[in-house]
A = this chain, B = another copy of it.
Amino acid sequence: MSRNVTILGAGLVGSLLAIILRKRGHDVTLYERRPDMRAAHMSAGKSINLAMSARGWKALDLAGLRAEMEPIAIPMYGRYLHQPDGQTAFQPYSKNNEAIYSVSRGELNKKLMTLAEENGVNIHFEHRCTQVDVPNNALRLAHNGEEHVVTTDLLFGADGAFSALRASYTHMDRVNSSQHYLEYGYKELAILPGANGEWLMEKNALHIWPRGKYMMIALPNTDGTFTCTMFMPFEGEVSFSKLQTEADVHKLFDEQFADAKALMPTLIHDFFANPTSSLITTHIFPWHYKDRSALIGDAAHAIVPFYGQGMNAGFEDCTVLSGLMDRHGDDWATILPAYERLRKPNGDAVASLALTNFVEMRDKVADPRFLQRKKIEKELGTRYPHQFISVYEMVSFSHIPYSTAIQCIQAQDRLLEQVMAEGDFFDNIAHDSFCDRIGHWVADYHKAVQQLDFG
Contacts and interface: CB of A to CB of B under 8 A. Distances in A.
A278 B181 contact: no
B181 A176 contact: yes
Interface string A155-194: 0000000100000001101111111110000000000000
A121 to B, nearest CB: 30
Contacts of A177: 178-179
A179 B170 CA distance: 8
Contacts of A170: 179
Interface string A228-244: 00000010000000000
A448 B336 CA distance: 53
Interface in A196-241: 234
Copies of this chain, complex-wide, total 2
A295 to B, nearest CB: 16
A179 to B, nearest CB: 6
Contacts of A162: 171
Contact of A278 (B174, B178, B179): B174
Identify the interface centre among A171, A175, A178: most chain B CB within 10 Å of its CB: A178
A331 to B, nearest CB: 23
Interface in A367-395: none
What are the 4 tightest A-B residue pairs by CB atom distance, in nearest-first order?
A178-B178, A174-B181, A176-B180, A174-B278
18 contacts: A162-B171, A170-B179, A173-B181, A173-B278, A174-B181, A174-B234, A174-B278, A175-B179, A175-B181, A176-B178, A176-B179, A176-B180, A176-B181, A177-B178, A177-B179, A178-B178, A178-B179, A178-B180
A136 to B, nearest CB: 20
Contacts of A234: 174
Nearest to A179: B177
A175 B162 CA distance: 13
Nearest to A180: B176
A275 to B, nearest CB: 11
A278 B176 CA distance: 12
A49 B116 CA distance: 57
Nearest to A234: B174
Nearest to A181: B174
Contacts of A175: 179, 181
Contacts of A179: 170, 175-178
A46 to B, nearest CB: 13
A278 B174 CA distance: 7
Nearest to A277: B173
Contacts of A278: 173-174
A172 to B, nearest CB: 10
A162 to B, nearest CB: 8
Contacts of A178: 176-180
A331 B177 CA distance: 35
A278 B175 CA distance: 11
Contacts of A173: 181, 278
A355 B25 CA distance: 49
Given A173-B278, A176-B180, 16 more contacts: A162-B171, A170-B179, A173-B181, A174-B181, A174-B234, A174-B278, A175-B179, A175-B181, A176-B178, A176-B179, A176-B181, A177-B178, A177-B179, A178-B178, A178-B179, A178-B180
Contacts of A176: 178-181
Nearest to A174: B181
A171 B162 CA distance: 8
A173 B177 CA distance: 17
